[in-house]
Amino acid sequence: MNFIGSIINTEFFIAAVRLSVPIILAAVAATICEKAGIINIAMEGMMLIGAFFAAWGAWLTGNPWIGLMFGIFAGTAMGLFHGWATIDLHMNHVVSGAVINILGFGITRYLMVLVFGHPGNSEQIPLSLAAFRFKIPLLNKIPFIGDILFNQTPIVYLTIVLLFVIQWVLKRSAFGLHLHAAGEHPEVLATLGISVKKIRYIAVGFSGTLCGIAGAFLSIENGLSFSEGMTSGRGFIALGANTAGGWSIIGSVIASLFFGAVDALALRIQVLNIFDIYSELFLIFPYVAALIAVGGLVFKSNPPKALGEDYQSE
Partner 1 sequence: MIKEKTANLQNKLINFIIIALFAIGTFFVIGGVFIGWSLIVIALIFWTYRFLKQEDMKLKNFLNIIYLKIKFPAFGLLLSFLLGGIIMYISGYNPIRSYGAMIYGGLIKNWHITILNSIPLIFTGLSIALAFKGGLFNIGAEGQYYIGAMVATWIGLRVNISPFIIIPVIFIAGFMGGALFNVIPAILKIKKGAHEVVTTMMLAYIAAILSSLFIKFNGGNPVTSKHAYITDTIFESAWLTKFDSIIPSANYRLHIGILLAIGLAILVQFFLYRTRLGFLIRVVGESPQTAKTQGISVPKIIVLTLCLAGGIAALAGVTQVLGLDHKMFENLNAGYGWNGIAVALLANTSPIGVIFTALLWGALDAGGQYMARTVQTPTSIVEIIKGLVLFLLLAKYLFTYLKKRRKV
Partner 2 sequence: MKKVLFIFLALAVVCGGLFASGSQEKADSKPIIGMATDTNGLGDGSFNDGVYSGLKRAEDEGLIEIRLIEPTSMTDYVPNLSGLSEDGAGLIFATGFLFYDAVLEVSEHYPETVFAGIDLSFDPSTMPSNVIGITWKEQEASYLAGVVAGLMTDKYSNLSDKLNDKNVIGAVLGMDIPPVERYIVGFTQGAKSVNPDIEVLSVVTGTFTDQAKGKEAAIALSEQGADIVIQLAGLTGIGVFNAAQEKGFAAMGCDIDQSFLAKANTITSARKGISEATYLTIKNYLSGDLKSGSNSEFGLAEGAINLAPFNDFEDIIPLEVREAVEKAKAGILDGSINVYSTRAELGM
State the residues that interact with partner 2 by CB under 8 A. Answer: 6, 9, 11, 15, 18-19, 112, 116, 118-121, 124, 128, 130, 133, 218, 222-225, 227-230, 232, 263-264, 267-268, 270-273, 279-280, 283
Please say which residue, 118 or 300, places its beta carbon nearer to partner 2: 118
For residue 119, state whether it binds partner 1 (rule: CB under 8 A): yes
Instruction: Say how many CA atoms lie within 13 Å of 253 toward its Cβ.
Output: 11
Q: Which does 130 bind (CB under 5 to 8 A by kind): partner 2, partner 1, none?
A: partner 2
Interface pick for partner 1 out of 113, 136, 161, 250 (rule CB under 8 A): 113
Distance between CA atoms of residues 140 and 147, nearest Å: 6
Task: Report in angstroms how near the CB of residue 13 gets to partner 2 at its nearest.
Answer: 12
Cβ 271 to partner 2 shortest distance, Å: 5
Q: What is the 8-class DSSP label of residue 182? A: H
> Is there binding between residue 297 and partner 1 (CB under 8 A)?
yes
Q: Following DSSP, what letter does each residue of 109-164 receive, concatenated?
A: HHHIIIIISSSSBPPPPSS-GGGG-EEPTTGGGSTTHHHHHSEE-HHHHHHHHHHH
CA dihedral 268, 273, 278, 282 (to 10 degrees): -20
Nearer to partner 2, 34 or 263 (CB): 263
Would you give the DSSP letter of residue 185? -
* Dist. CA 149–CA 245, nearest whole Å: 22
Tell me how far apart the alpha carbons of residues 235 and 24 are, in angstroms, rounded to a whole number. 10
The reply to whether 240 sits near partner 1 by the rule CB under 8 A is yes
Give residue 223's identity as a one-letter amino acid code.
G
Distance CA 186, CA 173 (A): 18
23 binds partner 1 (CB under 8 A): no
Q: Which one of residues 281, 305, 310, 313 is an interface residue with partner 1 (CB under 8 A)?
A: 281
Name the residue nearer to partner 2 (CB basis): 203 or 230.
230
Specify which residues 151 forms β-bridges with: 135
Q: Is residue 226 a contact partner of residue 122, using CB atoms and an 8 Å limit?
A: yes
In terms of CB distance, is 101 or 207 closer to partner 1?
Answer: 101
Please select the residue that binds partner 1; options are 3, 10, 62, 95, rule is CB under 8 A: 95
71 touches partner 1 (CB under 8 A): no
- Taking contact as CB under 8 A, which single stretch among the options 128-136, 148-156, 204-212, 280-288 is the one that binds partner 1? 280-288
Sole binder of partner 1 in the list 7, 14, 66, 94 (CB under 8 A): 94
Please name the residue ranges forming H helices in the chain: 2-7, 10-35, 43-61, 64-83, 93-111, 145-149, 154-172, 174-184, 186-191, 196-216, 234-244, 249-272, 279-283, 285-296
**Which of partner 2, partner 1, none does residue 105 bind to, with CB < 5 to 8 Å depending on kind?**
partner 1
Binding site for partner 1 (CB under 8 A): 41, 85, 88-91, 94-95, 98-99, 101-103, 105-107, 109-110, 112-114, 119, 233, 236-237, 239-240, 243, 278, 280-281, 283-284, 287-288, 290-291, 294-295, 297, 301, 303
